[in-house]
Amino acid sequence: MNKMKAAQVSKAGGGWELVERSIPEPGAGQVLIKVEACGICHSDMLVKEGHVPGIQYPRVPGHEVAGSVDAVGRQKSSSKQSFEPFHERHSAFSLNHFGGESIL
Ligand SMILES: [Zn+2]
């Protein structure tokens, strides 16, 4: 299986760790993005520091990515657009979040 590198946080308040993960397959209504660059914003730091309730760790913060579509999952029947960040180095996003104000 193909691998990717990801910068993850293992626990709330933990440090950044460079890890290797399997590249995910995009699910229904998702695309796989080959990430070329990723910004870290204040909301990512809140996740890293454990200030967002309900977050599960290990976590790969970083939803402000730039890259290219590497694979497309099958279509969903829903027409509502949205995004769901998934992974860092390669990221899968639900197309259903596209119309929202924020992608986090
Ligand atoms: Zn942000």
Per-residue pLDDT tens for 70-103? Answer: 999 987 665 555 555 444 444 444 343 333 333 3
Residue 3: per-residue pLDDT: 92
Q: What is the span of the domain harbouring residue 48?
A: 3-94
- Determine the distance separating the centroid of ligand 1 and the alpha carbon of 1, expressed in angstroms: 30
In a domain, 78, yes or no: yes
- Determine the distance separating the centroid of ligand 1 and the alpha carbon of 86, expressed in angstroms: 14
Distance of CA 69 to the CA centre of its chain: 13
Whole-angstrom Cα distance, residue 35 to residue 12?
24
In a domain, 71, yes or no: yes
Residue 63: per-residue pLDDT: 84
Q: How many CA atoms, within 13 angstroms, populate the side-chain half-sphere of residue 43?
A: 9
In a domain, 27, yes or no: yes
**38-82, pLDDT tens digit by residue?**
888 899 999 999 999 999 999 998 888 899 999 999 876 655 555
- Determine the distance separating the centroid of ligand 1 and the alpha carbon of 75, expressed in angstroms: 27
The one-letter amino acid at 52: V
Which CATH number goes with the domain that contains 85? 3.90.180.10
Residue 59: per-residue pLDDT: 93
Query: How many degrees, rounded to 5, is the angle at CA 1 between CA 31 and CA 94?
Result: 15
Whole-angstrom Cα distance, residue 59 to residue 88?
10
Residue 40: per-residue pLDDT: 87
Q: Looking at the 3D structure of the chain, how many domains does it have?
A: 1
